[in-house]
Amino acid sequence: MFWSQAERFAFNELSVFSLRGETFLASPLSPLWAWLVGFLCSLLIGGAAYWKGSLTRSGWVAAVAVGTLLFALGNLVWFACLIAFFVSSSVLSKWKRYVKRQAEASYEKSGGRDAWQVAANGLPGTLLCVAHAIWPSPLWLVSFVGIMAAVNADTWATEIGGLSRFRPRSILSGKPVPTGTSGGVSLLGTAASVVGAGFIGVSAWICLYLSSGSATDATGMAQSSNLELLKVGVVLVLSAAIGGTIGAFVDSLLGATLQRMYRCTVCGSVVERQQHCGKPTEFVRGIRWMNNDAVNIISSLFGAVVALGIGLIYYQTTIF
Ligand SMILES: [Zn+2]
């Protein structure tokens, strides 16, 4: 393998527990190392994102907190789901940014993620990780994968769907709406959300596989069979793909219905922002507290519930 001595030490501390015979990575590394490695990795990755303009300073601080907790209380798999979301969405948002500049003007926020956006994307998952540290069960991880898959699916759909040559259509009426409208969906965006959701599951699976390999090395005996890892991997990918896609669908639905929207008093477009064309906008519809961050949190929880359902089917039955 390609691990350095320090990483090998950290991964060797991984412990493993079993539910219905399936092996799952569980508790933290040796605590000091876990916190230290998690903090440094988060600091570096967040720092690169801050330097690239994908995070504001407050967003960087929030990202370091979320990343450190996921690594220390969870393990590499939890951390990897966050990083897979974070790095891929940062890269996508930079990609063809000139094409999307027009569309982004109507979003509530554009440019770097601030602390609120990082919290909206990271806090529900972090709470699951805390719960996992107190009452260990693989179902927490499956739910978490559903959350991150929903968040990632929504981001990929927005970034890639925004490049569609065809105008998006309202998820409610089916009528064409301007690119960047909340609740607008396109074929390209929908395909991107399915792939983006599955991407989180595949990332989790790869890290589970890598971590389990070093756990086996540490004890000198196989703690998990390849078949078990394969089955758990299929559960993770299915949970992510299905949970994440449904979460992104709920996101579009809320965006078209309950999300608060404003109308620009200058150009007349309906936007998420309280300012447009340099003037304050006027409230037109939605629930007052339902901003984009709230929509993200609620829809990602749908992703978690669906993923949990798939996890329960796996652990409570013998279908797989
Ligand atoms: Zn305007």
**Residue 110, pLDDT score:** 57
> In angstroms, rounded to a whole number, what is the distance separating the alpha carbons of residues 223 and 213?
9
How far does residue 90's CA lie from ligand 1's centre (Å)?
Answer: 27
Cβ-proximal residues to 4 (8 Å cutoff; 6+ apart), any chain: none
How far does residue 248's CA lie from ligand 1's centre (Å)?
Answer: 27
**Residue 65, pLDDT score:** 96
Q: Look up the domain containing 213 and give its range.
A: 5-316
**Residue 164, pLDDT score:** 84
The conformational region for residue 268 under phi > 0 = left, psi -120 to 50 = alpha, else beta, is left
Helix (H, G, I), strand (E, B) or coil at 95: coil
Handedness of CA 194, 200, 203, 204 (dihedral sign): negative
> In angstroms, rounded to a whole number, what is the distance separating the alpha carbons of residues 27 and 313?
24
- pLDDT tens per residue, range 124-175: 999 999 999 888 888 999 999 999 999 999 999 988 988 888 889 999 989 9
Q: What share of the chain is helix, strand, coil (3-state, %, to 5)?
A: 65, 10, 25
Is residue 12 predicted with pLDDT exceeding 70? no
Burial of residue 46 (number of CB atoms within 10 Å: 0-12, 13-18, 19+): buried
Q: Mean pLDDT score of the chain, rounded to an integer?
A: 83
Is residue 24 predicted with pLDDT exceeding 80? no
* Domain count across the chain: 1
How far does residue 108's CA lie from ligand 1's centre (Å)?
Answer: 13
Length of the chain: 320
How far does residue 106's CA lie from ligand 1's centre (Å)?
Answer: 8
Helix (H, G, I), strand (E, B) or coil at 320: coil
pLDDT band at 14 (very low <50, low <70, confident <90, very high): very low
Is residue 46 predicted with pLDDT exceeding 70? yes
- pLDDT tens per residue, range 231-288: 888 999 999 999 999 999 999 999 999 999 999 999 988 888 888 999 999 999 999 9
Is 231 in contact with 22 (CB distance < 8 Å)? yes
**Residue 70, pLDDT score:** 95
pTM (2 d.p.): 0.83
Is residue 16 predicted with pLDDT exceeding 70? no
**Contacts by 88-95 with C-beta closer than 8 Å and gap 24+?**
88/152, 88/155, 88/156, 88/196, 88/199, 89/152, 89/155, 89/156, 89/159, 90/49, 90/52, 90/54, 92/155, 92/156, 92/159, 92/160, 93/54, 93/155, 93/159, 94/52, 94/54, 95/159
**Residue 150, pLDDT score:** 97
pLDDT band at 111 (very low <50, low <70, confident <90, very high): low
How far does residue 96's CA lie from ligand 1's centre (Å)?
Answer: 23
How far does residue 33's CA lie from ligand 1's centre (Å)?
Answer: 51
> In angstroms, rounded to a whole number, what is the distance separating the alpha carbons of residues 240 and 152?
10
Is residue 82 predicted with pLDDT exceeding 70? yes
How far does residue 68's CA lie from ligand 1's centre (Å)?
Answer: 40
How far does residue 283's CA lie from ligand 1's centre (Å)?
Answer: 13
Residues forming beta bridges with residue 55, ordered by sequence position: 113
How far does residue 279's CA lie from ligand 1's centre (Å)?
Answer: 8
**Residue 29, pLDDT score:** 58
Q: Say what percent of the chain tops pLDDT 70.
A: 81
